């Protein structure tokens, strides 16, 4: 009985996944009627799933599709919908880091990773504020937008940033030098030096960053 209930509860998710896969494989937009025929469900049921997927931004409405009857609205996979399918970014990133390490010396590798963090900082809308605590709070929000579970906490000498996950976790565990990307990012966005007090790559439960004097390589706040 429990298994049957679980199957019924998961059916909408399976149907939506099938719709996304059909749109992924199609070279052109598909109408609700075409999706219903492919899935073997009613047009009304297909319309409900399509409407939910469109609200979530996983599919986009496209130009009308001409049929024997009146034109039907077509649907295609959105960028967000495409991103729901598996990616192997970590695998590619490991290969890139390995290739960099083979061709760069330790100092050059450090500088390259630092530039990556600084470049990322320049792409982010950092809040300009004379209050360091407000800047740190703004940066914590930006980090959450990048996928970090980050919060501002009260440290021994002021506000600190704590992250309980790392978007580079697997890479950092294999090569802790990747942490320089985070450090350079935080130096550039806060305009201050950064003390990496705790690090998951060192076996600790979270990463914690304290902020000190203005950093020489900090991004200019405007």
pTM: 0.64
pLDDT digits (tens, 9 = 90+) for 134-161: 889 999 999 999 999 999 999 888 899 9
**Cα-Cα-Cα-Cα dihedral of 33, 34, 38, 39, to 10°?**
-40
pLDDT digits (tens, 9 = 90+) for 33-69: 999 999 999 999 999 999 999 999 999 988 666 666 6
Q: Where, residue-wise, is CATH 3.30.1380.20 in the chain?
A: 89-214
- Helix or strand (DSSP H, E) at 136: helix 132-145
Q: Where, residue-wise, is CATH 1.10.10.10 in the chain?
A: 2-82
pLDDT digits (tens, 9 = 90+) for 177-210: 999 999 999 999 999 999 999 999 999 989 999 9
Least confident of 1-10, 93-102, 141-150: 1-10
Q: Which CATH superfamily is domain 89-214 in?
A: Trafficking protein particle complex subunit 3 (3.30.1380.20)
Cα 33 to Cα 38: distance, rounded to the nearest angstrom? 9
CATH fold for domain 2-82: Arc Repressor Mutant, subunit A (1.10.10)
Tokens of 94: 């490991």
């Amino acid at each position: 009985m429990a298994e049957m209930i679980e199957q019924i509860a998961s059916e909408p998710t399976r149907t939506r996944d099938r719709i996304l896969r059909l749109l992924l494989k199609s070279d052109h937009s598909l109408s609700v009627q075409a999706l219903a025929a492919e899935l073997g469900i009613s047009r009304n049921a297909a319309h409900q799933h399509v409407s939910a997927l469109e609200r979530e931004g996983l599919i986009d409405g496209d130009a009308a599709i001409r049929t024997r009857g009146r034109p039907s609205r077509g649907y295609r996979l959105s960028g967000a919908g495409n991103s729901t399918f598996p990616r192997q970014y970590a695998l590619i990133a490991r290969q890139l880091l390995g290739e960099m390490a083979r061709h760069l010396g330790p100092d050059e590798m450090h500088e390259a990773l630092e530039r990556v963090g600084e470049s990322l900082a320049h792409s982010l809308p950092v809040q300009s504020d004379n209050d360091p605590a407000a800047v740190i709070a703004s940066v914590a929000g930006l980090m959450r937008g990048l996928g970090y579970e980050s919060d501002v906490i009260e440290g021994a000498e002021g506000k600190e940033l704590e992250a309980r996950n790392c978007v580079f976790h697997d890479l950092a565990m294999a090569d802790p030098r990747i942490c320089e990307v985070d450090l350079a990012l935080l130096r550039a966005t806060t305009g201050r030096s950064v003390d990496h007090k705790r690090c998951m790559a060192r076996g600790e439960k979270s990463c914690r960053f304290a902020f000190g004097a203005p950093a020489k390589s900090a991004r200019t706040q405007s």
